[in-house]
Amino acid sequence: MSTENLELRSCITSAGQLELSLVASALAPLQPDEVRVRVEATPINPSDLALLLGPADLATAAVGGTPERPIFTATVPAERLPTVAARLDQALPVGIEGAGVVVEAGEAARALVGKTVAVAGGGMFARYHVARAHACLVLPAGTTPAQGAAAYVNPMTVLAMLETMRREGHTALVHTAAASNLGQMLVRACAQDAVPLINIVRSAEQVAILRALGATHVLDSTTPSFRADLVEAIATTGATLGFDAIGGGPLAGQILGAMEVAASRRATRYDRYGTSVHKQVYIYGRLDLRPTALDASAGFAWGVGGWLLNHALARSTPEVIGGLRARVLAELTTTFASHFAATLSLAEALQPDAVRMYGRRATGAKYLIDPSR
Ligand SMILES: NC(=O)c1ccc[n+]([C@@H]2O[C@H](COP(=O)([O-])OP(=O)(O)OC[C@H]3O[C@@H](n4cnc5c(N)ncnc54)[C@H](OP(=O)(O)O)[C@@H]3O)[C@@H](O)[C@H]2O)c1
């Protein structure tokens, strides 16, 4: 076991430069209830990219340093610096979740030594991660770190979305950017739970991906019939709740408008204010940074809000959360399986070509880092 840690850090300087580097540090002693995990697989999720790359212009990407300790740089245009004012000149650890093997443990956590565990602790783009024993998800025997690397963020989000739906009295869902890794999990989870799901994607290839998974309602937002098709799918399923990963542009408003048209078909009399059916869209991602455009088609019974996994879990009891985690573990290689385009070492993850590849946030292009390489 190495005596030093190596950790990827992301810093945006007040001079407008993004710097990604690998920082070495001595291994900290463990508390009795802590374990040291040798991280062997950690996914680069869209929310990691937001912290890793910020608003840098990747066309200016360059690399310096040495092959073992590269330093990636890119320019952050001056007009974008105010959006990251709170993080300037701080070398921040990156990586929300990952999995690996417990190589050392405090007195009270010895039973975990040798186990393969998943952790969601932040700073996972590192050779070692220190976690409290109770925060480790022990993976079933035979599960590889790569299979467990994404056991937290997307699976728990899918299940928490379904919890939100039930708690708020909805019975069906609309989902956007639906061919994402998370979207594919949602297709499988909704099929299992018999929850009608309308998937919105933006290409014929993505329609094919979801149809192959058995999805019933898959709509391509780039086709001329999209808005009419959306109304019909909503009328069929009764969906009054949407989860929107895109955030910017007209789609959230179009979903609310289509829900209102579908609801008005069931109205027994005309009301100038629209129907009283409450329609809700939660923006849970910002794949499009443009402003959210809402037109006037939704009547007055609607809401648009932000939605974050951590906030949703904070509204749940420990028993409910324990139940969700147990389901994720039981279905880790089926419903909640993730697929990765490639695996990189920490140093490889700082090469400009690699950054441009995983920075696309494209369908099927999720990357894994193996810091133990
Ligand atoms: N709020 C929360 O708590 C929470 C938790 C987990 C995940 N999330 C969010 O969930 C989303 C999916 O995550 P993931 O890990 O499953 O992503 P992923 O596998 O990397 O897939 C990203 C998907 O987004 C699509 N996309 C990218 N930019 C787009 C745009 N401007 N308009 C429409 N589609 C676009 C891509 O399609 P193309 O190939 O067409 O580009 C791809 O299908 C992300 O936005 C992430 O931030 C939020």
* Amino acid residing at 126: A
Q: Look at residue 227 in the predicted model and tell me its pLDDT.
A: 97
Integer Cα distance of 334 and 348 in angstroms? 30
Rounded mean pLDDT of 294-298?
Answer: 92
**Ligand 1 pocket by C-beta < 6 Å: which residues?**
45-47, 153-154, 157, 177, 179-182, 202-203, 245-246, 284-285, 287-288, 307-309, 361-363, 366
Integer Cα distance of 64 and 59 in angstroms? 16
Distance between the two ends of the chain, CA-based, in angstroms? 13
Dihedral pair phi/psi, residue 119, rounded to 5°: -140, 145
Per-residue pLDDT reduced to its tens digit, 13-47: 999 999 999 999 999 999 999 999 999 999 999 99
Q: Look at residue 364 in the predicted model and tell me its pLDDT.
A: 87
- What predicted TM-score, i.e. pTM, was given to this entire model? 0.94
Q: Angle between the 251-265 and 226-237 helix axes, to the nearest 10 degrees?
A: 50
- Ligand 1 atom at minimal distance to the Cα of residue 45: 15
Per-residue pLDDT reduced to its tens digit, 82-132: 999 999 999 999 999 999 999 999 999 999 999 999 999 899 999 999 999
Residue spans of the domains in the chain: they are 4-150+338-369, 154-314
Token pair 């019975």 is found at: 171
Q: What share of the chain is helix, strand, coil (3-state, %, to 5)?
A: 35, 30, 40
Mutation test of ligand 1: which of 45, 159, 164, 281 has the most ligand atoms closer than 8 Å to its C-beta?
A: 45
CA of 122 to the centre of ligand 1 (A): 20
Mutation test of ligand 1: which of 180, 222, 246, 313 has the most ligand atoms closer than 8 Å to its C-beta?
A: 180
4-150+338-369: CATH topology: Quinone Oxidoreductase; Chain A, domain 1 (3.90.180)
DSSP 100-167: EEEEEE-GGGGGGTT-EEEE--S--SBSEEEEEGGG-EEPPTT--HHHHTTSSHHHHHHHHHHHHHHH
- Cβ neighbours of 25 (radius 10 Å): 12
- Listed in order, strand segments (DSSP E) in the chain are 4-12, 17-26, 34-43, 57-65, 70-75, 92-93, 98-105, 116-119, 128-132, 137-138, 173-176, 197-201, 217-220, 241-244, 247-249, 279-283, 288-292, 302-306, 342-344, 367-369
Count Cβ atoms within 10 A of the Cβ of residue 295 and give its class: 0-12 exposed, 13-18 middle, 19 or more buried.
exposed
CATH architecture of the domain formed by 154-314: 3-Layer(aba) Sandwich (3.40)
Rounded mean pLDDT of 206-217?
Answer: 98
Rounded mean pLDDT of 291-300?
Answer: 94
Q: Are 41 and 99 in contact (CB under 8 A)?
A: yes
Rounded mean pLDDT of 302-318?
Answer: 95
* 76 CB-side CA count, 13 A: 26
Integer Cα distance of 143 and 156 in angstroms? 18
Quick one: pLDDT band at residue 368, thresholds 50, 70, 90? very high
Q: Are 154 and 336 in contact (CB under 8 A)?
A: yes
Per-residue pLDDT reduced to its tens digit, 341-364: 999 999 999 999 999 999 988 898
pLDDT over 70 percentage in the chain: 100
